[in-house]
Amino acid sequence: MKYNFSLFLPILVFLTFSCITTNAGSAAQDTVSFNRSHNLYVLEVNTNVEDAHIYIDGNFMGNQSIELQYRAGVYMVEISHPSYQPYKEAVTLNRSTQIKVNLLPKE
């Protein structure tokens, strides 16, 4: 009996290289990403202001401290609070990275 494996090859490739993980962005927002673990890096952002808003590429991700996984690339990290000077930096992610930001009060 002869088997035709060409029908199963796309399914086998998908199952071998992909799995789904869920990362909580905040209590109100969950994100789903396809995880290919060989090219995901941790981006950790911490600030000294408890109510500061942290944005990655313009998307709100949390307050004061976040830890997320991203693929290699360049991401815009912004931190804001009405009583403090804003912070904005383009971060090149090619390894796991931790950013600690000390926001300064507005004058």
CATH of the domain at 54: 2.60.40
Over the stretch 95-105, which tens digit does the pLDDT of each residue have?
A: 999 999 999 99
**Taking Cα atoms as reference points, which of 97, 92, 61, 95 lies closest to residue 78?**
61
Percent of the chain residues past pLDDT 90, beyond the cut: 62
20: in domain: yes
**22 near 31, Cβ under 8 Å?**
yes
Q: How far is it, in rounded angstroms, from Cα 72 to Cα 74? A: 7
Over the stretch 32-66, which tens digit does the pLDDT of each residue have?
A: 444 445 689 999 999 999 999 999 999 999 999 99
Q: What is the domain range of residue 86?
A: 5-101
Residues 6+ apart with CB under 8 A from 51: 63, 64, 81
